[in-house]
Amino acid sequence: MNKIVVINNKINFFKKKLINVDGDKSLSIRFILLSSLSRGKCVASNLLRSGDVNSAINNMKKLGIRIKAKDDFCEVNGKGLFGLKFKKNLVLNSENSGTTARLMSAMLSNSNDWVKITGDRSLKKRDMGRVIKPLKLFGIKFKDNNYKLPIWIKGPKLLKPIKYIEKLGSAQCKSAVMIAALRANGKTKLKCMPSRNHTELMFKNVLKIPIKLKKKNNYDIIDIDGMNEFNKFNYKIPGDISSASFFIVLTLLSKKNNLIIKNININPSRIGIIKILNMMGAKIKFFKKKNYKGEPTADIFIKSNRNLKAVNINPKLNSSAIDEFLLIFLVASVCKGISIFKDLSELNKKESKRLDWGIKILKMMNIRIKKIKNNGVKIWGNPNLELKKTYIIKNFLKDHRIFMASTIAALTFGGRWKIHDANCFKTSFPKYLKILNSLGAKIK
């Protein structure tokens, strides 16, 4: 059902100074998939229970894995590297979750019959070629339709190790290769453009897989020895920096507020938005830093500040802020000067064409924004931005991050906003509207 959210008022003083956001999506999906391949009962706490994670759970259940999930607590009974069960004419549905579709594609190779993977309207438009190409080199068989879902996958049981260079800086692509490498008879060698490294950290620190990690020039080098079963494990999932980012930007752009966001994953491969906002002058701070199985966490402190300056961002930061660019564009809209962001083509490969949508939303707000070569953008900030008109956001692919970023624009810049598909935030951040309301946002 197309629920519409109406926002006619900016947010005032927050009613709270401290919030918790939902668990990290990348880590929650990795927990579900990798625990299914472990030997024994694995337990997670603070698991994200969003649409994307539920689709990973439902698919593993269809593959014969027993999973008990209650609220944010979850028990998975892993069956080992070769333990998944494949019924005839099996159809797995990843709904909106690119991470589930791509990582799961690497897990189905010991099926004798074709297994179908499909997804929703948005996922069916996304590129599966980036995982099909390397997975075929392992010997996995595919039937596909121009590298788009639905695809069909089957055997052989034993894979041959590969050497592969990942040039997109895609963590999903890297992780799919790493998961297939678990069932390869020998050493897989990967050279990748940097991207979030949660799979590497889990393999090394949690699953204790024989893996070597090195940095060479601009690449991450990953060597994995296959055919090593791994034991059950437990995992406490920290808060998601991508979800926290909506409240970081809300606080920054609102008047006279400050906020602490508790226990957030601050892995350096995820905190591009913090680095970029601090370059703009935001002064975001980390407190109570901890390390959990190789993943750094902290409480984040942020206060309002509209005295921000434009930045010219090195595209090396892009992958660490890949899901946050809509928010970064909103902040650039009020920075003094001209901000420049380069090489953003991957943004148009997400749940919807986020680069095009970012440009469209800023233009609607009367902000000067221009596309430059290689999918970059220039944004002419207006520190006095104050919106008065009516703005209607209707993203036909129901992109959760476009919905949430639009609500932040509405609550900080003013105007009357009608934002369609108000249920789609449940894909990644089911508590989103509840937390906004608890801070005092007036949302109809």
* Residue that has been written with the tokens 């749940």 in this structure: 351
Q: How many CB atoms lie within 10 A of CB 219?
A: 16
Residue 323 annotated in active site: yes
Q: Which is nearer to ligand S3P, 36 or 195 (CB)?
A: 195
Q: Which is nearer to ligand S3P, 29 or 411 (CB)?
A: 29
State the minimum distance, in angstroms, from the CB of residue 122 to ligand S3P. Answer: 12
- DSSP helix/strand/coil, 303: strand
* Number of residues that make up the chain: 444
Q: Which is nearer to ligand S3P, 171 or 266 (CB)?
A: 171
Site residues, ligand S3P (CB under 6 A):
26, 99, 170-173, 175, 195-196, 322-323, 346
Judge contact between 168 and 130, C-beta under 8 A: yes
Quote the CA–CA distance of 128 and 148 in Å, as a whole number.
6
Selection from 244, 281, 241, 249 nearest residue 411 by Cα: 249
Q: Phi/psi at 157 (nearest 5 deg)?
A: -65, -45
- DSSP helix/strand/coil, 415: strand
Q: Which is nearer to ligand S3P, 195 or 245 (CB)?
A: 195
Selection from 271, 242, 259, 255 nearest residue 300 by Cα: 259
Q: Which is nearer to ligand S3P, 229 or 343 (CB)?
A: 343
Quote the CA–CA distance of 401 and 321 in Å, as a whole number.
13
Question: Quick one: which H or E segment has residue 201?
Answer: helix 198-201
Instruction: List CB contacts of 320: < 8 A, sequence separation 6 or more.
Output: 194, 196, 268, 269, 270, 271, 272, 275
Cβ burial of 235 (10 Å; 0-12, 13-18, 19+) is: buried
Quote the CA–CA distance of 138 and 134 in Å, as a whole number.
7
Selection from 29, 84, 34, 79 nearest residue 57 by Cα: 29
Q: Which is nearer to ligand S3P, 259 or 397 (CB)?
A: 397
Instruction: Indicate which residue of 24, 120, 220, 323 is catalytic.
Output: 323
Quote the CA–CA distance of 169 and 166 in Å, as a whole number.
7
Which amino acids are annotated catalytic?
323
